[in-house]
Amino acid sequence: MKILVPVKRAIDKDVKIRVKADGSGVELGNVKMSMNPFDEIAVEEALRIKEAGKATEIIAVSIGPQQAAETIRTALAMGADRGILVKADGAVEPLAVAKILKAIALAEQPGLVIMGKQAIDDDCNQTGQMLAAMLGWPQGTFASKVVLDGDAVTVTREVDGGLQTVKLTTPAIVTTDLRLNEPRYASLPNIMKAKKKPIDDKTAADYGVDIAPRLETIKTAEPPSRKAGVKVKSVAELIDKLKNEAGAIS
């Protein structure tokens, strides 16, 4: 069984985000970029399934600029077998990503697509669900546990009320939550081996997908700075401030 793992190049999770002076977007110049953390978890889960003898090949896919090849190399260094880079400059919206992934899935015929539930740059949380709908495959989103048993995969989902367990028939889509696993660090020998693993260069046109944006960003702004707190002398004063200044109670 093949496992397809989409990986996105995003601003590193430890970098403080800065908005451009003209409000046109987020500053990307001289900013450290890394694999989206949720996608790292997806790669790790795919590796664990393969190590358990339940998968034969892991394919890492990234859609983005040429630099996204580095993100694929990270997945290869962790243990993925090969990569596919779909070159695209500028922002690619979730719908276009889902269409490209659909075409790749139909070509590769994976038994499982494991992907991060969302990217930390746009927080859309849409691509996995769109892909499942387009393919007509079952989906298990926000996975905190994945158990593969023959042609079935049991997914424990994190939902508002606690945990929900669903059983899917493969091929299926699984999106990962933070508590699914702890991604491994790539060893130096594996980093060297990753340089020799193949990455296929493709374009969206190769898959017949139009990636022209359908949405326009009007303005990007930083959230308002929080005001410093104050000490109150009594419960009555606290209630007064909550009611008359904060408007938190009526």
pLDDT digits (tens, 9 = 90+) for 169-179: 999 999 999 99
CA pair distance 211, 75, nearest whole angstrom: 25
Average pLDDT over residues 5-20: 92
Does the structure show a pLDDT above 90 at 113? yes
What is the model's pLDDT at position 116?
Answer: 95
Q: What is the DSSP letter of 17?
A: P
- CA-nearest of 201, 157, 175 to 41 is 175
Would you place residue 90 in the very low, low, confident or very high pLDDT band (cuts 50, 70, 90)? confident
What residue spans define the domains of the chain? Answer: 2-222
- CA-nearest of 73, 120, 127 to 105 is 127
Q: What is the DSSP letter of 23?
A: S
- The mean of the pLDDT values for the chain is 93
Q: If residue 4 lies in a helix (H) or strand (E), which one and from where to where?
A: strand 2-6
Q: Please, what CATH class does the domain formed by 2-222 belong to?
A: alpha beta
What is the model's pLDDT at position 227?
Answer: 81
Residues 143 and 155: beta-carbon distance below 8 Å: yes
